[in-house]
Amino acid sequence: MKTTISTSLFFLALLGICMPASAARYLVDFGRNDVATGGGQGAITASPDSNGNYWNNFNKEAFNSDTGNLDVPDNAAISGLIDDANGASGIGIQLLDSTGNNEWEANGALNGGLLGPDSNLLGELAIETATRDYFFTTQPSASFVLNGLNPLATYDLEFFATRDTGGYRATQYRATDANGAMLSAILQTSGGGAGSAAHPNGNDDDTVALLGLVPDGSNSITIDMLTNAGGFSYVGIMSITENTVPEPASLALLGLGGLAFAAVRRRASR
């Protein structure tokens, strides 16, 4: 696995030595649930999966049952996320209507989703029901909020998305935390070189991450999904890692602006 990060990692490593933390991980599958009614785009990810992990499903059909209509309501939300060990939480995800347009849509396997993901490339994210479908936008941007977060924690967000097609497409994920640190990372989802030899025109081996984010005063983090290239942007899977820092070390979090950082993770050589 190849990881490219900023030099802030050194300082975060030192911080980690001084401030031991516990971590919980939340896995979110964005997409469709039409397979059960005869469609072919996507299905919810069952829990536990083949790795023993529990998932949260944010699927279009829960809010718009018309399988021929791709729209996800801009006010759609899920709450009470469970962690990968089935532990309860108060964390939720709320889509935002930031432009007044219908920003969010959903599609899946019949439109370039990833079937047969390889765990050697994507690790525990290689679950077909999670990789085969996705949310997307054709607008310049679309946003959502993570709410109900722990103010005494930092958050690492990892994103996977793909759309197998010949033209180059790239999605930029951006977040600003309580310290004013604006992080962004760009993921190529489509076009030549997007994936391995098995899927050369669709990402099947890369993720990007925004690491060390501190929730704002409303215990939230806003994520913007920007259309960087190709007219589309996507999100298929999001992994949220909550790093809980015990007192009194947590008091230092708001004084550590700039120590959050972004990473591009390549899970195997192509």
Q: pLDDT (tens digit, 0 to 9) for every residue of the chain, 270 residues total?
A: 333 333 233 334 444 444 446 799 999 999 999 998 899 999 999 999 999 999 999 999 999 999 999 999 999 999 999 999 999 999 999 999 877 667 899 999 999 999 999 999 999 999 999 999 999 999 999 999 999 999 999 999 999 999 999 999 999 999 988 888 899 999 999 999 999 999 999 999 999 999 999 999 999 999 999 999 999 999 999 999 999 876 655 555 545 444 566 766 655 444
Which among 152, 220, 155 has a CA at the least distance from the CA of 24?
Answer: 155
Residue 40 CA to residue 133 CA, distance in Å, equals 10
User: How confident is the model at residue 172, as a pLDDT?
Assistant: 97
* Domains: count for the chain: 1
Tokens of residue 107, six digits: 């599609």
Q: Please give the single-letter amino acid code of residue 64.
A: N
What is the pTM (predicted TM-score) of this model?
0.89
> Do the Cβ atoms of 171 and 227 come closer than 8 Å?
yes
User: How confident is the model at residue 21, as a pLDDT?
Assistant: 61
What is the distance of C-alpha 207 from the center of its chain? 9
Give the domain range for residue 70.
Answer: 2-266
User: How confident is the model at residue 163, as a pLDDT?
Assistant: 98
H or E stretch including 145?
strand 141-147
First to last CA, the chain: 11
Q: Which residue has the tokens 């722990």?
A: 150
- Length, in residues, of the chain: 270
263 Cβ contact list (under 8 Å, min separation 6)? 3, 4, 5, 185, 208, 209, 211
Which among 136, 234, 203, 216 has a CA at the least distance from the CA of 175?
Answer: 216
Q: Which residue has the tokens 């993720």?
A: 207
